[in-house]
Every structure is written in C-alpha cells, then in structure tokens.
Structure 1
C-alpha cells in the first residue's frame, strides 16, 4: 500500500480510537505530513523504537507499541520453554509512558506470556536488574531517555539484562513486516489481563533488592564518614525516575546533607523547568546552581528521566564547573582503580570497557595501572556483551564501563548504564578528594598533569524531512569514496567499521596532507580505485575486531582522532573529536582545528 492507502486504512479501522481518527482527519490534504507519518514504520533496531508521540506508522502511539510487542511476542513464543519465563516491563516519567507499558503488557498477556509490570515509574537500570532477578526472557522499557518532551520510545532487553542483540532485533522486525498492524495483533483489556493472573506487579521489594546491589559497589564509605558532617550535595532527577532512589542511596551511603531541587522533583513528562532533560546540557542545572550558591554546596548531581545518564556540577572556589561525560568517566575510572587497590579488592585481571568514541585518556590510565582496557562500538549493549564474555571465559573481572554520553556502570548486577550507581560513586569520590583538600575539578586537573591533557567535543548535524536518511547515507558514502587526508591534522589510519577493516594511509597521501596542513585544513584524497595512486595503501588492511557498523574513525597525528557516525535514534550525523596535547592550550588548539575541519566534511 502507498501512504494514502495506509492513512485510509487507519481511518477505516474499528481498532483505532476516535481521538486518533480526529487527529488524522485534521491532516487530510496535507500530503507532506501524511507522507511523513505513513510512508514507513518507525525502524525497529537493537535500541527498539523511538519517535515523536503522534498518530501514524511513523510515530509512537498505542498502535505502534502494540505492533512492536506482537513482533516481540512472536519471537518469544518461538523460544519454546523459555517463553514461560515471562517479560518484565518498566516505564519512565514521560507523557503516555504508563499507558504504553500497559498496552505492551496486554499484548503479551493475550499471547500467553506472563508479565512482571512495575507498579509505577522506575529507572532503566532497575529494569535491567529486575529481569535478571526474575529470570525473565526479555524486558521492555517505555522511555526516550533524555530526548525532548515530544518523544517516547520502546526499548527491548534480553535475558542477560542487556539490550536486544541484533539477530533478535532482526527477528522482531521481520515479524512486524509480515504482520498487519491491526489484524494480526492480539491484545486484551487491562481488566481481563489482570483477572487472568498474567500480570504481576513489582514494587518496593524489587527496589530493595536493586538498591542493595547498587550499594554493594561502594568502595569509599570510609571517605564519606570523614566528611559527612560538612559535605553538602544537591540532587535533581530532571522530573524523572531517580527522584526516590538516588536520595535514598546517598542517605544509606552515609551522606547527611543531601538537598534536592523542589521544582525538578515533580514528576512531569513536559519537563517544564528545562529545554531538554539531558544532564549533558548545562542549562538544565540552572536551578540547582542557583540553589547551590545559596546553600554553599560542594557537588550537584543530575540524572536524566529514565535514570541511566548522570551529569555533575562541581564547586571550584566561588564558581561552579560542569564536567563532561568523558571527564566524569576518567575520574571514576581512576577512583575505582585507586580505591580498590587501597582496599585490596582490585582484581589482578581487572578490565575496563569504553566505547570507541570515548576519551583516549582511559587507555593511558589503564596502561599505567595494569588494567586491561577494551573498546566497543557505541551503545551500552556492547559493554553488556563484554561483561557476559568476561563471565563466560573467566579471563577478566569487570571493573567499570563508560560512554562519553554520561553513561556509567560498575558491577555486573545490571547490563545497562546506571545513573544510580554512578551518583553514589561520584558522591563518595568527591568525599575522598575533600579529605585531601581538593574538589573534583581540581582532581581532574591533577589527572591531566599525570596522564596528559585531553580534550573532547561532539558536533551534531541535524537533518529533517523525508530525505533525511538519504542525505546522511550520501555523506557517509562520499567519505568512503573520497577519504580525507587531513582533518585539522594529518590522517594516519582510517578504521572503517562497516567494512570491518583498518587502512593505513600511504606515504604519498600523508605527505600531501603535511604539505597543505594548517589549523583549519581539511583535504581530501581519492581512493586508489579512483586514481590508482593518490590513496596508495602502504600495507594490507587489518581487521577492526568489532561488529560491522556505519562508523568512520580517523586516527590523526599526535594521538588525536575524529569519528563520524550517523545517530542510531535521531536524524543526525555526529562528529566526535578527541585531542591530546602537552598542555591544555595545545590540546584545545588541536581540538578546535579538528572540529572546524571535520564539521566542513558534514556539509
């Protein structure tokens, strides 16, 4: 069917409620809007679904949630006896999240699959823990993480607590392609599902088990005890799921002075006090900083609506400094190594894991401390897979995993990033440095002096309209056919994760880049297929050792790098820049040069 036929199908269906039909009827004659809503379904990938809440195939609504859940039910029922393990469902504070969670539960119940449904909103990492604790075959979380209020999403997890692996995501997607969105979806009323005993509610008992596991990851209660009478902290959940659990964990840790931002402790899917409920954005902390100045607070912690990302602001003298996701990551990595070594609990085979777009400083820290570092593709599910591999082989003991986008995990009780455990570790780490007469900003400068000065940034280029995906695909195609010889600094090697290979640029290309180089240089060279010589490769390609993914990683001179990848959840292409220098000014100069040159590649 074309998009107009699909549109008319929705209007004619007895399954569609009156409010949805009224919304769609109001769009009649708006060809562009209807084409956007009905030309294709929201893509179902390893991250599930994410989109604007609106009627139509390309929106998050009751019918697309049911449709995806039927695809998941088909997969689960093909698993035989394991299907009896059931599914655990959680949801966040977004508008319609409780309703979407209930709809998913009713579809599963109608397909004979038992559901463990949280009675109210819970953080994402608690879902990851709970499905492992209950022995569920899968989990569903209704959340769009840190996106703006218009969005919602549908994340699927598998039995290990990590996000759905690619092969299972493909099976769900294939079922959806085969099924009709109305005719082939089985559901029942919530009343009937409850009466049938197919839904079990989860609540405070699971919270206790989860918090117990989080608190087991503490390595610094002794530091908290030394400064608990004077150390002051502000916490904000940005209107989301951390509002109960983070303050309770900090209290149990021994923190005596935990303040909260009253306006942001209100559960509200419109996120009225922030432009975006993302702890990476400084503006979200405005209310907390204002409060901190009045209350003489040492540290501010903020978590996003679904409780998997964590950001901080640190008092440094008379000012408050925001630390990036990378900076928090290296502080935590160094802290965990140091604290565990001091307490004699650092495993000889300790291993840390980070994504390829996260700071190279982690490698230096691990090298100097005898910890093995592994890199994965972007997406915390890959860190979860590494934990599973470590447990299977026994070769390594997982210490810590992080991504530059403010995602952290210590411990193996969950397989997704956890802002609850991160908040706890950050608080006790700050207490440790306070016992040494330092704040976290000063501690970071100390790490730079020890390991080298690193700087990072992310540039996002947004695309819109029906042709957005095609534009993004063309940019990646052009970069592969005409690879740059310089991006602010000469390119030494290119890791093409889609091709699964690492290519070293030939001496001709590198020499050309050196000759033309200045701070803002971005020169391209043709591939050997185009010229036969200009991009002469000095040696055979090496394998990347990671799964295939549409990512280009440019290793530059002076231990700098640039990474280009399309976003997996939004119509944007991201440029990740990582620079290093002998001092801060050199690192910042290189960062600027790479960022400016790399940005031009995306236009």
Structure 2
C-alpha cells in the first residue's frame, strides 16, 4: 500500500474516529504526510516509542491496537494457561498514557486474556516486579521514559519480568506484520471485560510487597532507622510516577528529612517546569537546587517520568550543588555494595556485577579489587536483566549490582529492569553511612576511588537526526566509521576496535581479529591503550546517534585535558562525514 493509499484510508474509513481523520485532513505539508505514513512505527526489542499523533508512524490508539493484537496472539499460543496467567499493564503521566493502557487492556480482553491494570500511574520497575509477583505471562508499560512531551511509548515485558527478549520480540513483530489491514481490531467494552472477570484493577496490594522487598536491600537498617533523619534530601519526581513510592520507600527505612519539589510533585503530561524531563540534564535540577539551598540538603534526587532512572546532585562544601554523571553514581553504588558486603561477610565467592559496554571501565577495576566478576553486555538494561537470569538458571554467579551509564541501576533479584526507587534507597543509605560512620561525603569517597584506581572521566555527545533523512544520515555515519580503520584519536593509540554489528574485534597491537560473543548490534567501540574508550551507536529509543567518551589519566587535570581533546577529534571527524 502506497503512502497516499495509507493516508486516504486513515482519512476516509469510518473505523478511524473523527478526531483522527480531521487531524490528518488538516495537514498541508506533503513531507509531513510522508513522515507519518512512509513506514509503521518500529517495534523493536523493547517495544514502541514515537511522536504522539495520527498515522502509521506515530503513537496513537490504532497503533496500540495493532501491536497489542500481535502480542495477544503470542499469548494465546501458550494456550489457556497463558491466557489465564495474563498480562499486567502499567502507565506513566504522559499524554494518552491512561487511554493507551486501557485500549491495550480491552484488546487483550477481547482475545480472552486476563488483564491486571493498575488503578493509577506506576513506575516501570514496579511493572517488572508485578509480572513476577503475579506470575503473569507478559507485561506492558505505556511510557516514553525521559523523552520530550511529544512522545509516548509502549514497552513489552515477558514472564521473567525483563523486557521482551529478541526472539520473543521477533515473534510478536511477525504477528504484527502478518496482519496487513489496520481495520477490524475492536476492543471489548470496559463493562464486558469487568463482567467476564477478564479485567482486574490492582494497586496497593502490589505496592506493599514491592516496597517490602526494596526495604530488605538495606545493608544497615538499624543505622537507617536511628540516623536516617540526619540526612537531608530534596526529591523531585519531575511530574512523573516516582513520587509516592520513592518517598514511601525512603520513609519506611527512616529517611524522614525528605523535601519534595512541590512544583514538580504532581503528574503533568506537559512537563511545564522542565524543557526535557531527563535527570541526566542539569536544567532538570534547577528547582531542586533552590529547595536544596533553602534547607541545606545533602542530596538532590530526581527520577524520570516512569521512575526507572535516577539523577543525583551533591552539596559541595561551598554550598552549591554538583550533578554526578551516571557512571559516577554507578561507581559509588558498586563500591558501597561490594565494600560493605565484604566487611559484613555477606559477599559471596561468586559475586558478579553486570554493566553495559557503554559504561565506565572503572567498575571493572573496582570489581577486580574485591575479587568480583564483571559481565559486560550490550547497551540497554534488558541485556543486564537477561544476563542476571542466565546466571540464576546456570547457577554460576550471584548478582550483586547492575548499572548503565544512562542513569539506570539495579540491585536485588525481584525486579528485572533499572529501578529508580531501589537506587534512591541504596544511595541514601550509602550517603548516610559515609556521613555518620566514616565522616566523609561522596566527593571524598570518589576521590579515594580515583586515587586508588586512576581518574576516569566520561561524557556524551549526541546528534538529533529525525525522520527518514535522519535515519539515512545515521547510516552514513556508521558506514563511514566502519570502513575507516582509526588507529589513534588525538594522538592516543587505539588498542582494540570492536564492531558489534559484524561481531568482530581487532587488536591493533597484534593485528589479530577475534569474535565478539555478544548479540549483533549497531555499535562501534574504540578502546584506548591503558584504559578508556570511545563508542558510537544510533539510539534504540530516540532519533539520535550517540557518542560515548571515557578516558583515564593519573591526574584530574590530565583526564580533563584528554577528554576535551578526544571529543574535539571525534566530533570533527563526524562533521567531515556529514559534510560530504
């Protein structure tokens, strides 16, 4: 079906509601029509994410219906038992999130599948927990995570509580693509779904056991109860789903001095106080800093709209606040968990941490110091969850902690995705422990780590390349880098080059190639001699190509100079490719 045929169908067929047809009829730009209909919104290993609007390449209820029908058919493949186990659905504070969640629930119910739908917005990690807790076959969370307000998305989870693995995602995609028609997918009525017992609303009965498991992750619960009030925290949910559970989790452990940023406390799909609801971005902490200055808070915490990511800013001795990078948070949590479990005698012999190839090599050095194994996986927390499950099933490792540089962290075995609630609790306890027991703050702890293992600094750059032309330009950049053998950057030798798309690596010192064991992915990684790397990959969730920089030096000044030079070198090369 041509672009014009698709456009005509969506503007004329009564299956599509009048609001949808009118929105499309008002478009006068041919390029806009092409962008909305030249393809279907891509269903990847994590699900969907796209701009809200009418069209096959947008997030709307008809796209949700079609994808959900594909998922429903895969659930039905598991027979009556799979249909009875059912699907859990959660959603965040974005535009149309409740509507899309209900639409998915009623399409599943139409297929005779049991659905557990949350009574209000909930964090993504709680959805992961609930799939495991209820022994459901699958889960859906309607969210676009930290993307701008014009986006929404649809993430699919399987029975282990992790994001749907590639094999299962391919099966769902095959069912979606096998259905050529957009017409005829009719959801069951809400009244009928409830009457038949196919739709069950859930809430507090899930919150309680989830929070109980979070609380058990505390290493020093008595310290938390006795001294938790001494740690002053400012928290912002950035208008999202973390507000209630983050505050309850901290309060139940004893952290009672928590001030919430009132202007950002309640759900707001417009995200009116932030240009971009992403805790990685310093601007998101602007209001939190004002609150922090007013109460002299030790920590500023921010979770993104679906509360799976955590951003942190620390109060300096001068009284201002410095934001930590995702890698710095990951290192602090890794060091705290491993060092304190070792001191308590609870660190098992087969202890393992899992991190992504985009995350700092400093974690590998810290882990080795504590005789802990490191598993490096592809970018995306689903790969951390898959490796954790592989360890459990194989009995060859005990998962202690997992993180990715993009502000995602996980401890415990009851959630299979990054968890901003868990991260908030462990980070608060770590800050309290160092404050009350060792008389130092996180800056001093980081400095001690750097002096022991070397100064690792990291940064990111990204290019926003939207639409069809953007995809083509990303492909050009990746192809050009893949064809050029880069042996040095800003005068520093590249020791190894790994191409995860071809699954081949090369050691430039020996000239030997070697196979890469990780799954195929469009990622290029350049490892420096002596430590650190540059990595390039198109984002799997945003119309961006990302550049990751991680450097190591003996001094902070040396690391800062190295980081500046390597960024300049790489981005100059990229600009030359784009100029061709």
Matched, 1:599 2:571: yes
Conserved? CA contact 2:241–2:305, under 8 Å: yes
Which residue pairs with 1:495 in the alignment?
Answer: 498
Q: Distance in 2 between matches of 1:228 and 1:203?
A: 28
Conserved? CA contact 2:37–2:56, under 8 Å: yes
Matched, 1:504 2:507: yes
Which residue pairs with 2:213 in the alignment?
Answer: 213
Which residue pairs with 2:330 in the alignment?
Answer: 329
Q: How far did 1:505 drift?
A: 2.2
- TM (norm. structure 2) is 0.96
Determine helix, strand or coil for the equivalent of 2:468. coil
Which residue pairs with 1:61 in the alignment?
Answer: 60
Determine helix, strand or coil for the equivalent of 2:336. helix
Residues paired across the two proteins, number: 571
Which residue pairs with 2:345 in the alignment?
Answer: 344
Which residue pairs with 2:578 in the alignment?
Answer: none
Conserved? CA contact 1:453–1:581, under 8 Å: yes
Conserved? CA contact 1:461–1:602, under 8 Å: no
Which residue pairs with 1:580 in the alignment?
Answer: 552
Q: Which moved more, 1:186-195 or 1:566-575?
A: 186-195
Q: How far did 1:186 drift?
A: 4.1
Q: Distance in 1 between matches of 2:151 and 2:15?
A: 23
Please give the per-residue CA displacement for 1:545-584, whole angstroms capped at 9, x wherever unaligned. 2111111111122312111111111221111011000011
Which residue pairs with 2:485 in the alignment?
Answer: 483
Q: Distance in 1 between matches of 2:245 and 2:467?
A: 40
Which residue pairs with 1:358 in the alignment?
Answer: 359
Distance 1:602 1:214, change over 3 A: same
Q: How far did 1:117 drift?
A: 0.6
Q: Distance in 1 between matches of 2:98 and 2:181?
A: 21
Q: Which moved more, 1:174-183 or 1:69-78?
A: 174-183
Distance 1:505 1:238, change over 3 A: same
Alignment of 1:356-505 (within 5 A): 356-435=357-436, 436-488=438-490, 489-505=492-508
Which residue pairs with 1:79 in the alignment?
Answer: 78
Structure 1 residue ranges (4+ consecutive) displaced by more than 4 angstroms after TM superposition: none
Q: Which moved more, 1:305-314 or 1:586-595?
A: 586-595
Which residue pairs with 1:155 in the alignment?
Answer: 155
Conserved? CA contact 2:225–2:253, under 8 Å: no
Q: Distance in 2 between matches of 1:235 and 1:420?
A: 12
Q: How far did 1:229 drift?
A: 4.1
Determine helix, strand or coil for the equivalent of 1:228. helix
Q: Distance in 2 between matches of 1:239 and 1:420?
A: 15
Which residue pairs with 2:521 in the alignment?
Answer: 549
Q: Distance in 2 between matches of 1:144 and 1:472?
A: 22
Which residue pairs with 1:276 in the alignment?
Answer: 276
Which residue pairs with 2:511 in the alignment?
Answer: 538
Alignment of 1:84-233 (within 5 A): 84-225=84-225, 227-233=227-233
Determine helix, strand or coil for the equivalent of 2:230. coil
Q: Distance in 2 between matches of 1:103 and 1:180?
A: 20
Q: Which moved more, 1:550-559 or 1:216-225?
A: 216-225
Conserved? CA contact 1:111–1:186, under 8 Å: no
Conserved? CA contact 1:220–1:339, under 8 Å: no
Which residue pairs with 1:260 in the alignment?
Answer: 260
Q: Distance in 2 between matches of 1:566 and 1:602?
A: 13
Cα RMSD, aligned residues only: 1.3
Q: How far did 1:343 drift?
A: 2.1
Q: How far did 1:586 drift?
A: 1.0
Determine helix, strand or coil for the equivalent of 1:300. strand
Q: How far did 1:181 drift?
A: 4.6
Conserved? CA contact 1:63–1:181, under 8 Å: no
Q: Which moved more, 1:226-235 or 1:406-415?
A: 226-235
